[in-house]
Structure 1
Amino acid sequence: MVQPHGVILAGGRATRMGGGDKGRLMLSGRSLVARVVDRLAPQVDRLALNANGAPDRWSDLGLPVLPDEAPDRPGPLAGVLAGLDWAAATGCPHIVTAAADTPFLPPDLVPRLLAAAAPSGFALAATEVDGRVRAQPTFGLWPVALRDDLRTALAAGTRKIVAWTDAHGAGLAVFPTEPWDPFFNVNTPEDLARAEAMA
């Protein structure tokens, strides 16, 4: 399978952190988003950032900045669509997404998503705790072939990622949660303190 493009999703409003760019929060001397870049870049053939507002505030990362096409910032699916449109323009058949506030994402995220892909080309990351598998829907392998379907779904009001992926049969790549959850994300000041301890 062709190596996918990578898209870091940083388009959220970060309301629980008081607003601003959550990916810019510092963790042991490096920003959250820089840590995500370090982990995801070696796994993909090229990398971009989905973010809204002035793109030059991300210029230090040296990445293309992809704003949401959909109005009113309707959530992560809009960022996925921006990434799919970018990949389509370069001829890449799929992308892998990761959230900008998850500094411990797996170093084998992409190969395991590729291995878990359903016939539709979809796969989502997941974790299993106490026998219960839980999807991590901002971490996924997304086929460019379905971008127009996603565009239509967004226009019709679809916002939850799994509401759309379930309709197309996403495979699951299940990751261990020991010694910690690799998809731990920083939503609050308390989370940031916990991440410092983990780092």
Structure 2
Amino acid sequence: MRVVTWTLESRTPPTAPPRPVPDGVRLDHPTAVDPEYARFLYGYVGGPWRWTDRLGWTREQWEDELAVPGTSFWIPTADGVPLGYVQLQPLLEEDGTHVEIRYFGLAAPGLGRGLGGPLLEHAITNAWAIPGTVRVWVHTCSLDGPAARPNYEARGLALCRTETTDEDVPEAPLGAWVSTGGPAGPASISRPTS
């Protein structure tokens, strides 16, 4: 499938504080995320949007990803259920720290709550709070939700690169159930024999 990937960036911090998340939503910032939970969030949020590149990762690959210094997660929840997540990952470059919004998205229970904009504002503000930050950036692509790129641009991230590639992706999204480890087809029911 032909996939268009856009890189967006900001080189100046926001001038206004982030809006609060909607009533009934709590924004958690766990101090440690294990590989199992990181993989769950990736599949839970990305399953409906064809996020598949990391589904085959080993636990060690997830550990390596999470071990990058400064990696952090922000997880909105309501009634104890995650509504989405943000993963920030800083990288020290010659001119300072470049913070990637590595993953950002809402799961089905988080959609339609007015959460996307405020969550992204919190992510950007927290990225700029990392000492030495000179750039905050993100990739989004034509496989992501239709609101992704407009949300980034509305929060001050500007397009700086476009790339078109041919990718091996499923014809249809796998869905959160399969992407989080559920079986791909109907479960067989075993019945006792008499």
Would you say same fold, with TM above 0.5?
A: no
Instruction: State TM-score, norm by structure 1.
Output: 0.32
Greater percentage in helix: 1
Greater percentage in strand: 2
Instruction: State TM-score, norm by structure 2.
Output: 0.32
Structure number with higher relative contact order (C-alpha < 8 Å, ≥ 6 residues apart): 2
